[in-house]
Amino acid sequence: MVDGDELRRRYDYALEADNPSISYKLSLAGSKYMYHEIAGTPVLVAALPLRECIKLPGIKDGTLFQKNVRQSLGSSNVVNKGIRGTIIGDKRSDFFFFHNGITALCSKMELNGDTLSLWGLSVVNGCQSLNTILSCSETVKKAADLFILCRIYEIPQRDRADKISIYTNSQSAVKARDLRSNDKRVLSIKRAYELKYPSGYFITKRGETAPATKDASLVVDLSELAKILIAWHSQRPNLSYGESKIFDKYFETLFKNKDYPPEDIFALHAWMREVLKTWVSANPLSLNETLLAMKAYAPYHHLYAVGMCFSISNNQAERVPSPGKSHSAAARAGMTEEIVKVAGISLNMALEAAANDPQPANRVFSPQNWVKSKSCLAGINGALRNYFSMLPMMPGGAEIKKKLADGTTLKPEDFEYRWSAD
């Protein structure tokens, strides 16, 4: 007998086991507040002095915002500049009216006199505001006329808390990627990756930075991973530039498997690092200048070409190689750099061939449009096949071809069908 509800509860608990739980006694002396119960939920609404806000624990290190969909975006953010300008400006007494307020959740609260005891405190809307208020702490400490609307709800249920976090952050400034940062599948992948690579770190939120103690080469960003996944597993690098569409339309496809292997994340990240080493001003692969000018898009086509090197070499052109197995095979043969080089040269050849194709009347070839179209994929595949077939005719080509074969040979079970994205 298996209790499904209990299993889910324990799974949710395990995901949050490593997160710090904040307990705090909030002084409401000098505040105007209302304590009530709405829909069976204890609620406190207060006009809280800003000088009490800066005393909240966990603002600086971000632990107060663990249920928020993103961390601080910095003082250069337009909205944060406006908040700071109001606090230090001559209209600061109107701050309460200009600001939408802060929403916080806790697992339990108790009001004794003017002291509110909170357990499991987390701010789900107000991360930018509290960080900006803290940055103005010297002004805030001296001001008695600065207040902010604060709503605190006792919400012990995780699923309900997640919905509140999403719904209170569903204004236009929040991106699709932000709303997915607390998805259970994303958190499961993050947890598995960081368990496998203790010196690594998986960034899920915009504005979040990895601790200084982590190995920078093992730091993976959710947004970058999604773009890599659609280029490698869906074989659609032409879609990698659209972050909003990836986290909206294709999210269920890319993150359907919460047990995606950490080794594959490591391998994809390692392949992309090798690719980006060639996209520098020194231009070691002599890439076309128009390609270099599209660094936001074209490196994902380069990564796609790396995967196709394995598919074509193993006569598996319709299937996708395992990222982990492909990287291990190339590393054992010492051929990672050479495979990246072959892929880059082939991408360059495909672009130049497309540029030389006859164009319809009154039409001019556009590299930007080519990179964003599916037609470029056939060009890249054709260029790779031509490169492999021409290798024996090049000086030292026979030896290079043998080394490439050693570095790209995989078993049939190391391939899978691509994840559909169109």
Residues in the chain: 422
Reading the chain (422 residues) residue by residue, the pLDDT tens digits are 777 776 776 666 565 555 668 999 999 988 899 999 998 999 999 999 999 999 999 998 888 988 777 777 777 777 788 888 889 888 888 999 988 899 999 999 999 999 999 999 999 988 989 999 999 999 999 888 899 999 999 998 888 888 888 777 765 457 778 888 888 899 999 999 999 999 999 999 988 899 999 999 999 999 999 999 999 999 999 999 888 889 989 999 999 888 899 999 999 999 999 999 999 999 999 999 999 999 999 999 999 999 999 999 999 988 999 999 999 999 999 999 999 999 999 999 999 999 888 877 778 889 899 999 988 999 999 999 999 888 877 777 778 888 898 999 999 999 999 998 66
β-pairing, 102-106 with 122-125?
A: antiparallel
Residues 248 and 156 in one domain: no
Q: Distance (Å, rounded) from C-alpha 399 to C-alpha 383?
A: 20
- Is the Cβ–Cβ distance between 33 and 114 less than 8 Å? no
Domain that holds residue 73: 4-174
Q: Which two tokens stand for residue 198?
A: 């203790």
Residues 193 and 288 in one domain: yes
Tell me if 321 is assigned to some domain: yes
Give the CA angle between residues 17, 22, 27 to the nearest 5°: 165
Same domain for 112 and 215: no
Enumerate helices (H) and strands (E) in the chain, giving the number of each. 20, 12
Q: Rounded distance, CA 400 to CA 382, Å?
A: 19
**In this structure, is residue 422 part of a structural domain?**
no
Taking Cα atoms as reference points, which of 321, 285, 301 lies closest to residue 378?
A: 301
- At which of 141, 174, 207 does a domain end? 174
* Shared domain check, 236 and 118: no
Are 137 and 250 within one domain?
no
Are residues 105 and 149 both part of a single domain?
A: yes
Token pair for 340: 């990246």
Tokens of 313: 């070499």
DSSP-derived secondary structure letter, 394? S
SS3 354: helix
- 3-state secondary structure (DSSP) of residue 118: strand
Residue 130, Cα to own-chain centre: how many angstroms? 23
CB atoms within 10 A of CB 12: 16
Residue 366 to residues 86, 163, 307, 403: CA-CA distances in angstroms?
47, 44, 25, 36
